[in-house]
Amino acid sequence: MLDVRDLRKDYRGGTALDGVSFSVGAGGSLAVVGESGSGKTTCARIVTGLEKATSGTVTLHGTVQMVFQDPYQSLDRRQTVRACLAEVLAHHRKDRSRIGELLDLVGLDQRLGDALPRHLSGGQRQRVAIARALAAEPRLLVLDEAVAALDVSIQAQILNLLVDARAATGVAYLFITHDLSVVRHVCEDVVVMSRGRVVESGPVEKVLHEPEHDYTRRLVDSVPRPGWVPRRVVSRD
């Protein structure tokens, strides 16, 4: 579905990507994880055509759509939910009668079709953004920190929605995130990036349970868990 080979991106201030390679199979799901500045979002923007690589190749078999972190900024505040979806369906010459089907797919009440973004919760807005992306019937969906701006309980709902949507449509996911706690829920494979390079990759369960690179181990160790105490906290007893 997607094959990225030796991707490099140079800016005046330095190099954002240095020899990045990964692939996503048809209907598959790959997480690209790393701290801020690791290059993961630059990868996403190049894959979707929002930026051009300095060198390297991106081979995509089929259409791609993107879901951004902030659904309020990515939606037109003047458009109702129904108008937003109708616009995408018309642009891609799809059947406009699919609006109801799309609302059902992302778990939105049909009555919200006439609502404006300001009348929706953050979770509902992200559901609209996902429905809008799926309206084009893409083969690949790129999700850039798609749940990072949501409360934890809403995050879980959206992650479950993404799992169900992939099963229903067969769409592949490229999931960009800094949060390892969401990776296992949605993705089968993971690429770990640091300073513009891939430092480790493989099946999610193997990488998260048996990390080989020091950077990956630090990321895994930083995930809060029962009984976890931040290392910076020092007892004064």
Tell me what pLDDT residue 236 has: 42
Q: Does residue 83 belong to any structural domain of this protein?
A: yes
Do 122 and 72 contact (CB within 8 A), yes or no?
yes
Residue 235 has pLDDT above 50, yes or no: no
Q: Does residue 147 belong to any structural domain of this protein?
A: no
Domain span at residue 130? Answer: 72-138
Residue 49 has pLDDT above 80, yes or no: yes
Share of the chain above pLDDT 70, in %: 94
Tell me what pLDDT residue 53 has: 96
CA-closest candidate to residue 78, choices 70, 87, 68, 65: 87
Q: Does residue 154 belong to any structural domain of this protein?
A: no
Q: Does residue 163 belong to any structural domain of this protein?
A: no
Tell me what pLDDT residue 135 has: 95
Tell me what pLDDT residue 224 has: 63
Q: Does residue 114 belong to any structural domain of this protein?
A: yes
- Cα distance between residue 140 and residue 61, in whole Å: 9
**What total number of domains does the chain contain?**
1
Residue 210 has pLDDT above 80, yes or no: yes
Q: Does residue 76 belong to any structural domain of this protein?
A: yes
pLDDT tens digit sequence for 130-185:
999 999 999 999 999 999 888 888 999 999 999 999 999 999 999 999 888 888 88
64 pairs with which residues across the strands?
Answer: 140
Q: Does residue 4 belong to any structural domain of this protein?
A: no
Residue 230 has pLDDT above 60, yes or no: no
- Cα distance between residue 71 and residue 126, in whole Å: 5
Q: Does residue 79 belong to any structural domain of this protein?
A: yes
- pLDDT-based confidence at residue 234 (cuts at 50, 70, 90): very low
- Cα distance between residue 89 and residue 83, in whole Å: 10
Mean pLDDT of 43-72: 93
pLDDT tens digit sequence for 67-120:
988 888 889 999 999 999 999 999 999 888 899 999 999 999 999 999 999 999
pLDDT tens digit sequence for 9-19:
999 889 999 99
Tell me what pLDDT residue 216 has: 92
Q: pTM for the full model?
A: 0.89
pLDDT tens digit sequence for 184-193:
889 999 999 9
